[in-house]
Structure 1
Amino acid sequence: MINNIVLVGRTTKDMELKQSSGGSAYVQFILAVNRTFKDGNGEQQADFITCVAWNKTAETLSKYVQKGALIGVEGRLQVRSYEKDGSRQWVSEVVINRFTFLESKRSTTPESGTMGNYQQNISSGNPSNSFHTANYQSPFQTATVMAGRTTVNVSDDDFPF
């Protein structure tokens, strides 16, 4: 059986570390994940997916991840239920095994926020650091910009066949 989920998205709020009744540390948060298409009005659509992390992973997330941070998570889908007011409630969530920071800390400072930093760079006529936010869906273009290259020239002589 395979139950593996990989998501890339932005956190919708600051992480709040909590303790379970058994004493384990956990964080529960929503990850906004852009869909691959836009709606009829040209607006970007997103899914808001509930995620939960436990123990050391939860402690690290709560310490270093802020609202609006771009992160990648890997985990498994968990469906659970509970009773509330006499009716059964169902919850689907991603239980995180691993996560990855996908942008630099300086691009998500709490003073400016991710989008604040992007908008500030654009409005000042200096879009040099705007790729942190604007091109996160295009990792190869971002890597090229970060490396200071805009094109790569390849000739037929470069191929071994």
Structure 2
Amino acid sequence: MLNRVILIGRLVRDPELRYTPTGTPVGSFTVAVDRPGGNRQGERRTDFIDVVVWSGLAEVCHRNLTRGRLVAVEGRLQIRSYDDSQGIRRRAAEVVAENVRFLDRPKDAGREQMPDASKESEDLDMSEVIDFSDDDIPF
């Protein structure tokens, strides 16, 4: 069996960072991903996909990502259930990320490249950063 998801998209808002009762960092953000569709040729639709990151990866994403940044997310799909405020049972789909790659530079960093968030900050390989211009992105 295989449960693997790879997404490339832009962050809808800045990542949130929380901590479990035992102190483990957990972060979350939403990625906007275009997909083909619609009534006219070339028309696209956008999916907004929730992403969860844990431990050191959550802290790195929280420190380095902001709304509008282009990322590649690799992980697994998770479906969870919860009761809403009216007691109605709801389901939520989210991607639990194992790797997050920063595919662009922050607007205020000039020509500085961002690291691969899946690695420890002491062991960064800057050659793995992919450089996309805004012209290459469909949204």
Give the distance between the partners of 2:83 and 2:38, measured in 1 at CA.
37
Amino acid at match of 2:46: A
Alpha-carbon distance, 1:2 to partner:
0.2
Return 5+ residue gaps in structure 1 as ranges. 111-130, 138-161
Q: Say whether the 8 Å CA contact 2:36–2:42 is kept in structure 1.
A: no
8 Å Cα contact 1:9-1:71 kept in structure 2: yes
- Would you say the 8 A contact 2:74–2:98 is kept in 1? yes
**2:127 corresponds to:** none
Checking the alignment, whether the CA contact within 8 Å between 1:11 and 1:66 is kept in structure 2 is: yes
Q: If each structure's strand is expressed as a fraction of its own residues, which one has the higher value?
A: 2
Query: What do the CA deviations read for 1:93-120 (whole angstroms, capped 9, x no partner)?
Result: 0000001111123xx339xxxxxxxxxx
Partners of 2:53 and 2:14 in 1: how far apart?
14
1:52 aligns with 2:38: no
SS in 2 for 1:3: coil
- Between the aligned partners of 2:87 and 2:135, the Cα distance in structure 1 is 47
| Identical columns (%) | 36
Spell out, residue by residue over 1:40-94, the C-alpha distance to the aligned partner (whole angstroms, 9 max, x if none): 3965421000111011110000000110000000000000111233321111100
> Which amino acid is the alignment partner of residue 133 of structure 2?
H
Q: CA RMSD in A?
A: 2.1
What residue in structure 2 maps to residue 10 of structure 1?
A: 10
The answer for the alignment partner of 2:134 in structure 1 is 133
Structure showing greater relative contact order (alpha-carbon pairs closer than 8 Å, 6 or more residues apart) = 2
CA distance in 2, matches of 1:68, 1:39: 27
Q: What TM-score does the superposition give when structure 1 sets the normalisation length?
A: 0.64
More off after superposition, 30-39 vs 72-81: 30-39
Which residue does 2:35 correspond to in 1? 35
**How many Å separate the matches in 2 of 1:80 and 1:13?**
22
Cα distance, 1:65–1:2 mapped onto 2, change above 3 Å: same
The AA in structure 2 aligned to 1:90 is R
Native 8 Å contact 2:36 2:43 kept in 1: no
Structure 2: which 5+ runs fail to align?
110-131
- How far, CA to CA, are the matches of 1:54 and 1:134 in structure 2? 32
The equivalent of 2:70 in structure 1 is: 70
Please say which structure displays the higher CA radius of gyration. 1
Provide the C-alpha distance between the structure 2 equivalents of 1:95 and 1:3, rounded to a whole number of angstroms: 11
